[in-house]
Structure 1
Amino acid sequence: MKSEASPGWRWILRGQEVRLGLAVGLAMLAAAVELLPFFLLAQAVDRVVQGGPQMGAGLLVLAGWTALALLSKYLLYTLAYYFSHVAAYRVLFDTRRALVRHLSWAPLPWLSRWSSGELKQRVIQDVERMEQFIAHHSVECVAAIISPVWVFIALCLLDWRLALCALLPVPLALLAQAWMMRGLTARMAQYAGAVDDLDGAVLEFLRSAPLMKAFRQDARSFKRMREALARYQYLIGRMIGLTVPGWSVFVVLLGANVALLFPLGLWLLRNGQLSQAELVLALILGTGMLRPLLRVARLNSQLQEILGGIRRFAPLLAWPQPAPGEVHVVARGQAVTFDAVSFSYEQQPVLEHIDLHLPAGQMTALVGPSGSGKSTLAWLLGGLLEPGSGNIRIGGQPLSSFSEATRAATVGVVSQEAFIFQGSLLDNLRLGRPEATLAQIYSALRVAQAEDFVRALPQGLDTLMDERGVRLSGGERQRIGLARVLLAETPVLVLDEATAFADSRTEHRFYQALRAMWPDKTLLVIAHRLSSLCDAEQIVWLEHGVIQACGTHPQLLASNSAYATQWRHQFHSEDWAIRERGTLHVGLD
């Protein structure tokens, strides 16, 4: 059950309130101490104007107090930044750990909707943005907000009219800022989407870099990246065009109070209501009074970006931890039933009203043209997708009622692309069964036709694998993926083009060994070669998301022309031969 509560700042900053409170308090005190040198400067001006024999000694004393004030400011800001940095990195650690933990709890259908670029932004970039704000901007923002308050109090002590005069540009500046920030939330959402697309395109481009180099292609030849860059450039240009004019007006207005303070200060000086030293102090403090708000305005846009990141990764933190003890091992030899199952991708029907029974302990093969919905049907059984309507039952129990742990222990899925983690080959194989013995591991490798090449590796099972298994060929990665799933010994096994990289003989030996080792395993197989599926007890012809025919290989050859045509084409293509003198002959026997 998904939690309704979305984590906010209170959740993210939990446990760090004391450190952040100390950082804020020290920053406020530092902002006050920061004004002391200006008061001391005014006193120095007064000493110089008055003159006298003790002027030099008095100036030395003031210089000493100024140095002490600067040292105090340095120490206060150092302590404030120390506490804010410790809090920031603790927040990053706790948030990333929580994200990884909750990702492991999230249901597969929900998780499969996220692209690698989206996950990268949420787990890495959106979290990383918080560090800069908490570690640096929290102290800077507090100092920037409290500093005008201290200045206002100081001006009030000099003359209340000077204090009010210094604040006159603020309403106009706030109106300019509101104009600048109009529609920022929607623009930031578009920007985040563009970053997601660009991250995904960059990751895909980097993964395909060897292929691109082989064909001498550069980034301009990669359409997805080109489109993502174009969209990103367009959004950035639009944001600049909308915000820069308002920002310029805002900056000018925040410094415009000098045009009011100077005439008023001269008038007060002429009337004897203000001394020369006080006039200097008022002008120094007043003209710089509002400039810290520039930093606040910049931080406001960054805060919106950070809050947008929190809203993006909040759904990842909404999944509760599964209750312990929810693994229910389903007995072997269980039948699988698809009952009126339908599925659509973004309102586009892919499967329509599928009624299919997979007999227990038998092999069912899905065949049909590309795009007919075969992989979608396999993913529905594997729990990677959820049906739009209808039910899938295993042993009479709805698959939707299974916990994630029970589903993983019941249905094993192997796709065409087997992912290999960085680590030893043994760690990769034991992923779904950590307690597996070496005898069980080599038995699974033997069935997967991988034992020989694993034993031939220099370190055998202890051989370290690079990320994504780049040290292995495509066929070797697939066989390791097969062995990993076979080791889990799930009652139901889904093979979606899991032997695509294997030659026909290796593929045939695999299916023979699989059925001999686990005769009671219920199999759903998708394979490119129909010759590998001839021995299946049931072959299902799927076309346009609808089951068109179902039966054994001889039955479909006799009753379904589409299946017979595909069989004939594959049979003939495998009988090609190169004759002497370079003539190409296609056998039609």
Structure 2
Amino acid sequence: MTDGTSDQGEHPAHVLLVSLLSPEKVRLGLAVALAPLAALADLLPYAILSYSVGAVVSGTASPDDLVGIAGLVGAALVLKYLLYSLAYYFSHVAAFRLLADIRQTLVRRLAAAPMNWLHRHSSGHLKKIVVQDVERLEQFIAHHTVECLAAISSPLFVALVLAWIDWRLAAAALVTVPLAALAQAALMRGLGPRIDAYNRAIGDLNGAAVEYVRNAPVMKAFGLNAHSFRRMSDLLARYHDLITAMTRQTVPGWSVFMVLLGANLVFLLPVSLWLVRQGTISPAETILALTLGSVMLKPLFKVAHFSSEIREIAAGLRRIAPLLAFAPSQDSGPRETPPTLRLSFRHVSFAYESRPILKDVSFTLEAGTVTALVGPSGAGKSTIAHLIGGLAAPSSGDILVNGTSLSALDEAERSAWITVAAQDAFLFRGTLLENVRLGRPDATDDDGHRAARIAQVADFVATLSDGFATMVGEQGARLSGGERQRIAIARALLTDAPLLVLDEATAFADSRTERRFYQSLREAYPAKTLLIIAHRLSSIERADQILVLKDGGMVDCGRHADLIARCPLYRALWQRQFDSETWTIRPGATANAALS
């Protein structure tokens, strides 16, 4: 199992682009072939009009000739329209077919992506990849393939015509091109790092925007606005500073580039007049040279604009590449899900950004047993759940499941063998039953109802007019925290994995509901291996073993009675919970009053 980080940058952006475009190479080939022909047709009216003006000036044109010339101009315009229409038709059809295929592929790769890779990337970053980076490809495929090729072809055709008339005309028309390119390159030097910073800022801003929108009800409840959301405010300020700096750098360079490209007439006009006076070219050729030469470099504006956009397209391709690298393993069929599961930590250590979280932790969860994990806040309990669930990988040591390293399992096997139900339960827009069946869409209604009963969902579902068909809002906004947690637990139970990790999954439930849940769970799944991270020690008093964690290290391990007798930390945690449960806000009341 890989996190995909090594795949980034493994293939250059242009290689990946060619690979992505290959399914539509026939349509794109037709668009590319038609674009130069359309550019050539675009020049025909200028040539016809130039010669018609020359004929009129020389007095050799008759009225009938002028009517024929008008017809030729009209035919050239129709030809240009047809060629451009066909080129854009093929490029747009190819673009939208490719976009649909790429987005479907990315969504499938997201399902195959390792949990730890997904955990490291915000929803805003992933949205940027699937939506914005792919959308930028649409502009390239549908428009730039035709427009840029036509923009490059048109000056080449004009240069060939001018060179055919007289090579000095072509030289005069092109003399400003290298000057414009050098000026733009000099003024825009060092823009690449700023574009990379801009793309990172957009990803961070997307993530903050999603977070802000999701928490808008909370912000409104406290009378806050976007300025009060410090992260959003800081990211907007950073985005503003980046845009300001990029604008100050690019506008002068772009302005100089445009002026120099449009200045070729300064050289072309005197050369043309000199050649006429020398008798080298005719007046009609002079008009043609000035007409074509004055517009020949304008299409290069599109090429210059595309050259700045290509950096963003390449950056988007580099972000897409790691996601495309994730694919289900095809080496062998999936291992059969075992009926019971034994899990062992072997000298596991974990550090986050060089800060140690777990230090040489070893323990074993025997198959079919209940293990509780306790410790003060920051001890590393949730980190252990993340390691088991695949949200992170150990810095050293190994995690074994039935003798197989957890890292050797692919995502499908890991999710079939191990299920983690966390405190933060995410529900999707849909019915209650659809949310329960998320992990097993093929489960029957009876299976879903059974899991819901064990998770103590049936009590509050019975009070709903539509029962399990009740629609819940986005993130389960219509349910309480305890109700969302119970739905998430039912979802985890329905997957029927042999190992279930409950990471503060019953934190919002009252003690009575929590006790009923654990009792029903053991009765319904006696062979299931359980790891419980609970804030109420009374709920795990009867666990087969209790692991005591402090500062990322294992302090002790044993049953409740033994730990009360020999482990000062566990005894202090137990007493602290007792004191908190007997505490009262009424003046004069004492903890001992609860004992009477």
TM-score normalised according to structure 1 size? 0.94
Q: Is contact 1:327–1:403 with CA below 8 Å preserved after alignment?
A: no
In 1, Cα distance between the equivalents of 2:171 and 2:270?
Answer: 14
In 2, Cα distance between the equivalents of 1:92 and 1:502?
Answer: 45
Written as runs of structure 1 = structure 2, the 5 A alignment for 1:300-449 is 300-323=307-330, 325-332=333-340, 334-449=341-456
Q: Is contact 2:342–2:529 with CA below 8 Å preserved after alignment?
A: yes
How far has the Cα of 1:546 moved from its partner? 0.9
The equivalent position to 2:466 in structure 1, one of 459, 466, 472, is 459
The equivalent position to 1:524 in structure 2, one of 522, 531, 534, is 531
In 1, Cα distance between the equivalents of 2:150 and 2:451?
Answer: 64
Q: Is contact 1:141–1:299 with CA below 8 Å preserved after alignment?
A: yes
How far has the Cα of 1:338 moved from its partner? 0.9
SS at match of 2:297: coil
Are 1:185 and 2:160 counterparts? Answer: no
How far has the Cα of 1:139 moved from its partner? 1.0
Q: 1:309 to 1:159 in 2, by over 3 A?
A: same
User: Is there any run of 5+ residues in structure 1 with no aligned partner, and where?
Assistant: none
The equivalent position to 1:46 in structure 2, one of 50, 54, 60, is 54
Q: CA RMSD in A?
A: 2.0
1:255-277 residue CA offsets vs partner (Å, 9 max, x unmatched) = 12111111111111222223333
1:323-371 residue CA offsets vs partner (Å, 9 max, x unmatched) = 3631321132x33211100011111111010011223322221222222
User: Is there any run of 5+ residues in structure 2 with no aligned partner, and where?
Assistant: none
Partner of 2:274: 267
Count of residues in Structure 1 that have an aligned counterpart in Structure 2: 584
In 1, Cα distance between the equivalents of 2:136 and 2:445?
Answer: 46
How far has the Cα of 1:316 moved from its partner? 0.6
SS at match of 1:413: strand
Q: Is contact 2:54–2:287 with CA below 8 Å preserved after alignment?
A: no
How far has the Cα of 1:181 moved from its partner? 4.3
1:457-477 residue CA offsets vs partner (Å, 9 max, x unmatched) = 333333334332223222111
Partner of 1:15: 23
How far has the Cα of 1:498 moved from its partner? 0.5
Q: Is contact 2:50–2:291 with CA below 8 Å preserved after alignment?
A: no
How far has the Cα of 1:296 moved from its partner? 0.3
How far has the Cα of 1:305 moved from its partner? 0.6
Partner of 2:589: 585
Written as runs of structure 1 = structure 2, the 5 A alignment for 1:105-144 is 105-144=112-151
How far has the Cα of 1:225 moved from its partner? 0.9
Q: Is contact 1:335–1:395 with CA below 8 Å preserved after alignment?
A: yes
The equivalent position to 1:539 in structure 2, one of 538, 546, 568, is 546
SS at match of 1:493: strand
Are 1:472 and 2:479 counterparts? Answer: yes
How far has the Cα of 1:527 moved from its partner? 1.6
The one-letter code of the counterpart of 1:459 is D
How far has the Cα of 1:238 moved from its partner? 1.9
Partner of 1:257: 264
How far has the Cα of 1:180 moved from its partner? 4.0
How far has the Cα of 1:570 moved from its partner? 2.5
1:25-63 residue CA offsets vs partner (Å, 9 max, x unmatched) = 2111111011111112112212321337x6333222212
Are 1:213 and 2:217 counterparts? Answer: no
SS at match of 2:582: coil
SS at match of 1:34: helix
SS at match of 1:574: helix
The equivalent position to 1:25 in structure 2, one of 13, 33, 36, is 33
Partner of 2:230: 223
How far has the Cα of 1:215 moved from its partner? 0.4
Written as runs of structure 1 = structure 2, the 5 A alignment for 1:57-136 is 57-136=64-143
Q: 1:291 to 1:586 in 2, by over 3 A?
A: farther
In 2, Cα distance between the equivalents of 1:492 and 1:120?
Answer: 32
In 2, Cα distance between the equivalents of 1:586 and 1:142?
Answer: 84
TM-score normalised according to structure 2 size? 0.93
The one-letter code of the counterpart of 2:162 is L
Q: Is contact 2:328–2:410 with CA below 8 Å preserved after alignment?
A: no
The equivalent position to 1:287 in structure 2, one of 294, 312, 317, is 294
SS at match of 1:502: coil
Q: Is contact 1:573–1:586 with CA below 8 Å preserved after alignment?
A: no
The one-letter code of the counterpart of 1:349 is P
SS at match of 2:271: helix
SS at match of 1:339: strand
Are 1:482 and 2:486 counterparts? Answer: no
In 1, Cα distance between the equivalents of 2:354 and 2:583?
Answer: 43
The equivalent position to 2:42 in structure 1, one of 12, 34, 37, is 34
